[in-house]
């Protein structure tokens, strides 16, 4: 079988694509340079009394930028659509596009539905008014869908992410699989890595690790930061001094030193990560308990069953998360028993637990500082004074008056922080900490590919570019959200 | 002002003490000590041999006492042993067996200026840290030289006409640069510019534009003593890019805010040209906020320095941190954490003081 080229039978399009991209890049550069020197646009008053700005040279350039941008986008769409139909006939890109068909369907569905109902979807709907926000959302959605489909349903991937094929070591993208069976996928779309595994499949398997850990770790960090930051800002005084000191202490650590101190097999053996998990994971339980109690404590008939139900479920999940094999902490010397095994529905992999805990630990102090600052600002508002005069309790004011009014900056920071967490996870992988060396996650793959970088770049560039696009998507999404939430 | 600085210095001391104690605690956990004994002694030591190795070197004393020895407020450990000839040999933290009895110091710790001995590098910690710090200082200096002007120019250009095409292009660029961590951009740069098989180097070599195999070098090992554009530019660029986006965005926000101020409108209405409004009226006020951001960015650059020094094999402070942490080199790690905490807190202090000097509206009472 022939090795695949990048675009296969669509290669006649490459010339046009190159032209479109080239002219677009040149035009953007020209636009930047001219706008430094160009005079401001002159305004003509037309005979009917309306005013119009002359197009001038600036208008011409921005028109050219728009046209070339649309042309580039159109050619990319042709590559994609043709790829979905023709598969590997259209080269490596075609093959990839076809493998990703379910992702395209999912994205199209969500976009069409969201744009149709955007007026009734609140802040999320407003996102579809801003181009930047839409681009960011599309990038994030792509990786979330791809990660879930590849990680949970084994859909996109073409080969097993851990199995090695003979003769495929360091092979270039598009190399046919030697001795492939009929029902097997016949190519390594993005080549093989130094252990002859399929780069393409590992890339999307690795996306799942990131998509799974980063948002959850960020949610936990927010729970910790909110639960501690609100009282620190609202009460002030000694509590604030103490908590701020601890937060600054953690922030004064160089992150990588902290990771090296926390995420080593020796530290895991002492059970410290399990202690930290037991402390950090309790915050969501406290948060929801206080949240509901402060709201419904005047109606004991509603409050008591509700709290029993929710807190019971949360405590169960909490205990299931922190206990493994019936123990919360198990070291060589001693064990602390936890939830018995028949109730324990989820065993967290110890290597994921330690990564998760350390990422939450690094992120929580920053969230704490943001929430504290917002609480300090908002507690002087009139509606807080009104609630105080009504005789509301302090936790009601913090959680039901201050927190909802701080949601704008918090949502924006949440998006940014998921991106930062993704970067931190990559950093851990890059230093070979935490996850096993055969784990397909992007940081670890970059770390293993790094040693052969002078000779083979193809196992290394896909995870690097993927990480970049995901974080970029999250940052653009945050930017779009910020713009839209400031608008009203 | 005086009391403010004294209070901040006191806070700094307390933070440094807490932080070093945490590092000391983590590195002195039993599994870590066992690892240390096995890497320093030999890997097939029995548990008993590990124990005697550790107790001979004072590692098994209670933690606060050991920490006191490191600080220099508790007497250093001594150990008496009879060797195979039958003579008693006394070893200790503060002296060698050959030191005459009357010269043997009782206390030796940071307060006495004794930073300890690195178990990984087999040399004195203070000289090692000083040497590595100067190498990293060079790297940081070039990074600041490249990053700060670039970030300020991008931020000011983007902020002076908010919402224009120029603003949109530059803002996208700065968002993209904050979204590219050092290990991604570094790897991409090496692949594109410093690989002899991929990227633009083979093309340029084919055309005969460069005499060497690659345009840039992927290793900065030689740059410690002899930094050239070819071996030093990529690491500097990699760190600068990631830090640049954030400063540029802060500058843009600050500039955009200043440009909507009343006095700018007045100047425009008086007929001052746009160039003069930006250069003479807006710039100074717009640069107050970025100053704080730049100072606070310095400790954050330390992370980038660790990653980049590790990636480009540059023997500086960051690589020292990685190597010390891998070998559980306790006294070296302690010195490293002292240096980094001082760096973090000192830059915070400078940024606060500088903010007061730059912004006459703020007074510290």
What DSSP string runs through A393-450?
Answer: -HHHIIIIIIHHHTHHHHHHHHHHHHHHHHHHHHHHHHTT-SS-TT---HHHHHHHHH
Q: Is residue A53 over pLDDT 80?
A: no
Per-residue pLDDT band for A38 (boundaries 50, 70, 90) equals low
Q: Please, what is the average pLDDT of chain A? A: 87
Nearest Cα residue to B249 out of B138, B135, B347, B158 = B158
The answer to whether residue B145 neighbours chain A at the CB level (below 8 Å) is no
Q: How far apart, in whole angstroms, are the C-alpha atoms of residue B142 and residue B232?
A: 9
In whole angstroms, what is the distance from residue B227 CA to residue A375 CA?
49
Tell whether A460 is within 8 A of chain B (Cβ): yes
For residue A207, name the pLDDT band (cuts at 50, 70, 90): very high
Judge contact between B300 and B243, C-beta under 8 A: yes
Decide if B187 and A270 are in contact by the 8 Å CB cutoff: no
Residue B175, pLDDT score: 92
Of A253, A423, A446, the CB nearest to B19: A253
Question: What does the alpha-carbon distance between residue B172 and residue A473 come to, in Å, rounded to a whole number?
Answer: 11
Kindly report the backbone phi and psi dihedral angles of residue B353, in degrees, each rounded to the nearest multiple of 5, phi listed first: -65, -45
Residue A488 has pLDDT above 70, yes or no: no
In this predicted structure, the answer to whether residue B364 has a pLDDT above a threshold of 70 is no
| Mean pLDDT for chain B overall | 86
pLDDT at B147: 93
| Range scoring the smallest mean pLDDT among A342-346, A406-410, B143-147, B167-171 | A342-346
**Which token pair is A135?**
């681009």
- Interchain CB contact of A453 with B (< 8 Å): yes
Helix, strand, coil percentages, rounded to 5, for chain A: 70, 5, 25
Chain A residues whose beta carbon lies within 8 Å of the beta carbon of residue B325: 257, 260-261
pLDDT of residue B362: 64
User: Alpha-carbon distance B330 to B35, whole Å?
Assistant: 12
Tell me the CA distances in angstroms from A252 to A244, A258, A370, B339, one per residue in order.
Answer: 12, 10, 16, 11
Token readout for A469 is 């696009």
Supply the DSSP symbol for B215: S
pLDDT tens for each residue of A344-390: 777 777 888 899 999 999 999 999 999 999 999 998 999 999 999 99
- pLDDT greater than 80 at residue A247: yes
CB A322 within 8 A of CB A328: yes
Distance from C-alpha of B307 to C-alpha of B184, rounded to nearest angstrom: 10
B115 DSSP 8-state letter? -
- Which of residues 197 through 216 in chain B touch A, CB cutoff 8 A? 197-199
Note whether B15 contacts A: Cβ–Cβ < 8 A: yes
Q: Which has more pLDDT, A120 or B1?
A: A120
B241 contacts B249 by C-beta, under 8 angstroms: no
Q: Can you tell me the distance from the alpha carbon of B181 to that of A393, in angstroms, rounded to the nearest whole number? A: 44
Report how far apart, in Å, the C-alpha atoms of A245 and of each of A155, A249, A251, B187, B343 are: 48, 6, 10, 37, 17
Q: What is the pLDDT of residues A257-315, one digit of tens each?
A: 999 988 888 888 888 888 999 999 999 999 999 999 999 988 889 899 999 999 999 99
Q: What is the pLDDT of residue A368?
A: 95
> How many CB atoms sit inside 10 A of residue B114's CB?
20
Question: Which of A261-265, B89-93, B359-363 is the most confident on average?
Answer: A261-265
The predicted pLDDT at position A469 comes to: 95
pLDDT at A148: 93
- Comparing B31 with A326, the larger pLDDT belongs to B31
For residues A337-349, give the mean pLDDT.
Answer: 76
Query: What is the pLDDT at residue A42?
Result: 61
Give the integer Cα–Cα distance in Å for A189 and B134: 46
**CA distance linking residue A155 with residue B201, whole number of Å:** 38
Mutation to test the B interface, candidates A63, A132, A206, A252, most B Cβ within 10 Å: A252
Q: Cβ–Cβ of B15/A260 closer than 8 Å?
A: no
The predicted structure's pLDDT at residue A430: 92
**Least confident piece of the model among A225-239, A338-352, B282-296:** A338-352
List, in sequence order, every residue forming a beta bridge with A337; answer none if it has no partner: A327
Across B294-305, b (16+ Cβ under 10 Å) vs e yields bbbbbbbbbbbb
Q: Which helix (H) or strand (E) holds B253?
A: helix B229-259
d(CA B230, CA B218): 9
- B positions 289-328 inside 8 Å of A (CB): 299, 302-303, 306-307, 310-311, 321-322, 325-326, 328
How many whole angstroms separate alpha carbon B258 and alpha carbon B359?
14
**Structure token digits, residue B94:** 């503060």
Q: Lowest mean pLDDT: which of A56-60, A79-83, A205-209, B337-341?
A: A56-60
Most distant pair of Cα atoms in chain A: their distance: 92
Q: What is the mean pLDDT of residues B110-114?
A: 84
For A258, the token pair is 């902290």
Q: Is the pLDDT of residue A325 over 60?
A: yes
Residues 6+ apart with CB under 8 A from A349: none
pLDDT for res B296: 78
| DSSP bridge pairs for B79 | B91
**CA–CA gap between residue A157 and residue A201 (Å, rounded):** 5
Among A22-26, A50-54, A301-305, B155-159, the minimum mean pLDDT is found in A50-54
Element at A302 (helix H, strand E):
helix A300-322
pLDDT at B207: 84
Q: Which two tokens stand for residue A373?
A: 């600052």
| pLDDT of the residue at A397 | 94
Q: How far is CA A199 from the centre of its chain?
A: 21
Distance CA A421, CA A362 (A): 9
Do B334 and B279 contact (CB within 8 A), yes or no?
Answer: no
Q: In sequence order, what are the beta bridge partners of A51?
A: A45
Averaged pLDDT, A227-237: 93
At residue B235, does pLDDT exceed 70?
A: yes
Q: How much of chain A, in percent, has pLDDT values that exceed 90?
A: 43
Task: Tell me what pLDDT residue A362 has.
Answer: 92
Instruction: Give the tokens for residue B44.
Output: 């097939």
Contact of A103 with chain B, judged by CB distance below 8 Å, is answered with: no
What are the structure tokens assigned to A393, written together?
């309790």
What's A118's DSSP letter? G
Lowest-pLDDT choice from A289-293, A338-342, B136-140, B255-259: A338-342
CA distance B141 to chain A (A): 19
pLDDT at A39 over 70: no
pLDDT of residue A414: 94
The pairing of beta strand B117-118 with beta strand B88-92: unpaired
Confidence of residue B94 (pLDDT cuts 50, 70, 90): confident
Highest mean pLDDT among A38-42, A96-100, A386-390, B209-213: A386-390
What tokens appear for A62 in the block?
Answer: 């921005």
Mean pLDDT for the stretch of residues A213-240: 94
Residue B363: the pLDDT is 62
Could you tell me if A466 and A442 are in contact, meaning their C-beta atoms sit under 8 angstroms apart?
Answer: yes
Residue A409, pLDDT above cutoff 80: yes
Mark yes or no for CB contact A249/B333 under 8 Å.
Answer: no
Q: Taking Cα atoms as reference points, which of A210, A202, A257 lies closest to residue A418?
A: A210
ipTM over 0.85: yes
Give the pairing of strands B117-118 and B123-124.
antiparallel
Tell me, yes or no, if A390 comes closer than 8 A to chain B by beta carbon. Answer: no
Chain B within 8 Å of A62 (Cβ-Cβ)? yes
Q: Chains A, B: CB contacts under 8 A, how many?
A: 146
pLDDT of residue A55: 60
> What local confidence, expressed as pLDDT, does residue A54 receive?
60
Residue A40 pLDDT exceeds 60: no
How far is the C-alpha of A85 from the C-alpha of A245, rounded, in Å? 60
Between CA B115 and CA B133 the distance in angstroms is 15
Is A467 in Cβ contact with B181 (below 8 Å)? yes
Collapsing DSSP to helix, strand or coil, B351 comes out as helix
Q: Give residue A43's pLDDT band: very low, low, confident or very high (50, 70, 90).
A: low
Least confident of A170-179, B20-29, B314-323: A170-179
- Range from A55-59, A267-271, A299-303, A449-453 that averages highest in pLDDT: A299-303
Q: Which residue of B has its CA nearest to A430?
A: B183
d(CA A65, CA A24): 6
Average pLDDT of the segment spanning B346-364: 76
- In this structure, the strands spanning A187-188 and A327-330 are unpaired
């Amino acid at each position: 079988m022939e090795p695949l080229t990048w675009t296969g039978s669509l290669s006649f399009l490459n010339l046009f694509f190159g032209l479109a991209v080239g002219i677009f890049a040149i035009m953007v550069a020209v636009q930047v340079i001219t706008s430094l020197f160009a005079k401001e646009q002159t305004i003509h008053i037309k005979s009917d009394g309306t005013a119009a700005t002359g197009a001038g040279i600036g208008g011409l350039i921005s028109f050219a930028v728009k046209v070339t941008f649309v042309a580039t986008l159109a050619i990319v769409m042709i590559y994609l659509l043709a790829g979905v139909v023709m598969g590997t006939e259209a080269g490596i890109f075609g093959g990839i596009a076809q493998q990703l068909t379910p992702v395209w369907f999912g994205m199209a569905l969500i976009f069409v539905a969201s744009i149709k109902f955007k007026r009734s979807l609140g802040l999320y709907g407003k996102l579809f008014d801003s181009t930047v926000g839409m681009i960011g959302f599309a990038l994030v959605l792509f990786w979330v869908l791809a990660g879930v489909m590849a990680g949970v349903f084994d859909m996109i991937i073409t080969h097993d992410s851990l199995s090695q094929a003979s003769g495929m070591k360091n092979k270039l993208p598009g190399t046919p699989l030697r001795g492939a069976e009929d029902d097997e996928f016949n190519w390594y779309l993005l080549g093989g890595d130094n252990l002859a595994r399929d780069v393409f499949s590992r890339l999307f398997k690795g996306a799942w690790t990131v998509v799974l850990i980063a948002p959850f770790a960020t949610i936990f960090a927010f729970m910790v930061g909110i639960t501690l930051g609100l009282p620190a800002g609202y009460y002030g005084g000694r509590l604030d001094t103490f908590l701020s000191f601890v937060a600054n202490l953690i922030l004064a650590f160089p992150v990588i030193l902290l990771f090296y101190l926390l995420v080593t097999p020796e530290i895991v053996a002492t059970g410290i990560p399990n202690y930290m998990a037991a402390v950090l994971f309790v915050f969501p339980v406290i948060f929801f308990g206080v949240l509901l109690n402060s709201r419904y404590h005047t109606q004991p008939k509603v409050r008591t069953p509700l709290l029993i139900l929710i807190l019971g479920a949360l405590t169960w999940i909490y205990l299931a998360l922190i206990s493994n094999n019936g123990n919360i902490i198990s070291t060589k010397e001693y064990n602390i028993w936890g939830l018995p095994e028949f109730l324990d529905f989820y065993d967290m992999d110890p290597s994921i637990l330690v990564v998760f805990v350390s990422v939450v630990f690094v992120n929580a102090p920053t969230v704490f500082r943001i929430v504290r600052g917002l609480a300090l600002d908002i507690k002087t508002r009139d509606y807080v004074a009104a609630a105080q005069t009504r005789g509301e309790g302090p936790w009601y004011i913090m959680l039901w008056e201050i927190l909802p009014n701080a949601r704008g900056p918090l949502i924006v920071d949440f998006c940014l922080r998921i991106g930062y967490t993704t970067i931190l996870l990559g950093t851990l992988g890059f230093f070979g900490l935490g996850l096993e060396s055969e784990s397909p996650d992007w940081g670890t793959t970059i770390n293993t590919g790094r040693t052969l970088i002078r000779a083979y770049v193809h196992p290394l560039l896909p995870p690097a570019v993927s990480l970049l696009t995901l974080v970029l998507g999250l940052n653009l999404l945050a930017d779009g959200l910020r713009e839209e939430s400031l608008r009203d | 002002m005086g009391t403010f600085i004294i209070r901040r210095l006191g806070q700094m001391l307390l933070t440094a003490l807490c932080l070093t104690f945490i590092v000391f605690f983590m590195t002195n956990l039993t599994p870590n000590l066992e690892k240390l004994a096995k890497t320093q002694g030999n890997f097939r030591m029995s548990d008993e041999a590990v124990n005697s190795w550790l107790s001979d070197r004072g590692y098994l004393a209670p933690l606060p006492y050991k920490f006191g020895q490191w600080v220099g407020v508790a007497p250093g450990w001594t150990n008496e042993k009879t060797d195979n000839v039958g003579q008693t040999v006394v070893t200790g933290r503060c002296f060698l067996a050959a030191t005459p009895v009357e010269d043997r110091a009782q206390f030796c710790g940071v307060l006495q200026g004794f930073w300890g001995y690195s178990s990984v590098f087999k040399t004195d910690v203070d000289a090692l840290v000083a040497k590595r710090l100067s190498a990293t200082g060079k790297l940081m200096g070039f990074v600041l030289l490249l990053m700060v002007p670039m970030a300020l120019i991008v931020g000011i250009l983007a902020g002076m006409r908010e919402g224009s095409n120029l603003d949109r292009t530059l803002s996208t660029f700065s968002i993209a640069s904050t979204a590219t961590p050092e290990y991604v951009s570094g790897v991409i740069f090496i692949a594109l510019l410093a690989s002899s098989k991929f990227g633009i180097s083979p093309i340029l070599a084919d055309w005969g534009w460069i005499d060497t195999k690659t345009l840039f070098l992927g290793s900065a090992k030689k740059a410690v003593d002899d930094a050239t554009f070819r071996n030093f530019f990529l690491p500097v660029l990699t760190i600068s890019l990631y830090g640049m986006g954030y400063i540029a965005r802060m500058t843009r926000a600050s500039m955009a805010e200043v440009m909507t101020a009343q006095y700018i409108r007045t100047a425009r209405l008086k007929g001052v040209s746009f160039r003069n409004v930006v250069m003479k009226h807006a710039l100074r006020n717009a640069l107050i906020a970025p100053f704080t951001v730049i100072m606070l960015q310095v400790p954050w650059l330390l992370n980038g320095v660790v990653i980049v020094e590790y990636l480009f094999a540059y023997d500086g402070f960051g690589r020292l941190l990685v190597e010390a942490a891998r070998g559980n080199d306790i006294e070296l790690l302690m010195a490293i954490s002292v240096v980094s905490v001082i760096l973090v807190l000192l830059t915070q202090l400078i940024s606060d003081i500088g903010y007061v000097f730059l912004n006459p509206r703020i007074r510290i009472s």
